[in-house]
Structure 1
Amino acid sequence: MGARVTRVFRNYNLENRVHRELSKDKPRAAPRHSVKLPPTASSPQEVDSLNQNNAPLLDHLRSVYVESRDPAPAAAEVSKDVTAGREQRRLLKFSVPASPLGLVELTDVPIGKLTIAEALKAVGSHQHQPQTWSPEKIAQEYSLDLKETKALLDFFVPFKVEIIPPKTKKTKQIKAS
């Protein structure tokens, strides 16, 4: 009810108010901030001062001598740098078919990493056959850390479908196949 009343007052004499507002003079724009332009070298005296060499500065520059050498890296750091430069990779154990979206199919992954497809396969096989697919075997198969593999199996739960039976016999039910 209140909305109707406010709409009546809001739309009352609307056209006259619009014409009155449009006929007013537009406000002037605020003045622009003055910008100082860089000085132009119009006089020959300024051009000469820019092109002249400053003798004391040149002498000081000639007296400075810099010698630079790389420090000798330790043997352990060298081996880390070499392995970091070319990361060890392993071939995929399991992959899904290429997607229609044109995504690049992976052929290998870094050691200690899993793709989503491999993670689902490993967790699913562990759930179906926990004696065969123990955390130790999964860690060895996919080149993973044992602690991370145990955490993966504990906390990474794949999608589960649970069919709840209907309360009445008239309700349709999805049949499990």
Structure 2
Amino acid sequence: MSTMGARITRVIANFNVENRAHREISKLKPRAAPRHQTSASFPQHNTADNINQRNDPLLSMLKDVYVESENPASQVAMLKKTEQETERRLLKFSLPGDPYGICNIADVPKGKLSLVEALTVLNNHKRMPKTWTTEKMAKEYALDPRDVKALTDFFIPFDVKIFPAKSVENKQINDS
């Protein structure tokens, strides 16, 4: 039945195709939009002549300009010195060995935490919030109290829960 429907639609679609094509071809074509004016309407200047000509007003303005330069290398050296002079503190906690591709770090800048310390701080605060207050953590790790408050409010360590098996009689799949 579907082939019958396809034949009918093909006949209707091809009906009077030639006349419809001639009618479309004989229609007047719409006029193209006018083109944008090109640079031909603008006066042509020879740029080589303009470059080589002396322009007295520009020269007088250039004489008024005074440029003072400093060596940026000295600024870079000063930045390196300030980076080296930042106070550092020893790590409170670290993982044994070199896990996760993290190199052995002995100290961190004050106001910063290592990944292991951050997890330890969050876990301590979660388990004993009355003992590990934000003020105590800020004092212990030389952190800004606002940063510690934001850390405890917005970062929550994973909660691992292990459910015991209901019974030993659980069904097991037999390898057959």
TM-score, length-normalised on structure 2?
0.46
Q: Tell me which protein shows more helix as a share of its residues.
A: 2
Structure with higher Rg: it is 2
